[in-house]
Amino acid sequence: MGLSTSTKTFAERLEESKKDQFAKAAVAKAQDAQWDKRESARDELGNWQEWRNIAESIRQHTLKYLPHYLTEFSDNVAARGGHVFFAADAKEANDYVKRIVLEKNAKKIVKSKSMVTTEVDIDPMLVSLADDMDILETDLAEFIL
């Protein structure tokens, strides 16, 4: 899974970054702009706490009826020609992905941002298969790390 962006160590790149005044200013400016936009959106929306309470109510409802919503999701995916696999544990999830990769003789894998892939520790399994395959990480933070 060889993705390399520098020959320098993390510590070396970190020290260089600490000295990069342009990058530090750009990050600070982006953070300030993001804060201002967030506050502006809150003001425009109005009743911020009420919206938060509604969102929490929706979240609690969804969790209470999660099996129903998962079934509905799976049915909708299937109706559009897709397939949802519910794994009982990390091993079953890894075995399923490995089987699909091998059956399809995959040469390129695109790994999207998902906590599930972290929770089931899928990366080592993909790396073990990666001799003749390219694995692309789409999550910018993962790419940076």
Decide which of 26 and 144 is more confident.
Answer: 26
Q: Where are the beta strands (DSSP E) in the chain?
A: 108-111, 134-137
pTM over 0.85? The answer is: no
What is the residue whose two structure tokens read 């399923």?
A: 96
CA dist., res. 12 & res. 6, Å (int): 10
Categorize the per-residue pLDDT at 39 as very low, low, confident or very high, splitting at 50, 70 and 90: very high
- Is 143 a residue whose pLDDT tops 70? no
Mean pLDDT over all residues of the chain?
89
Decide which of 114 and 43 is more confident.
Answer: 43
- Is 1 a residue whose pLDDT tops 70? no
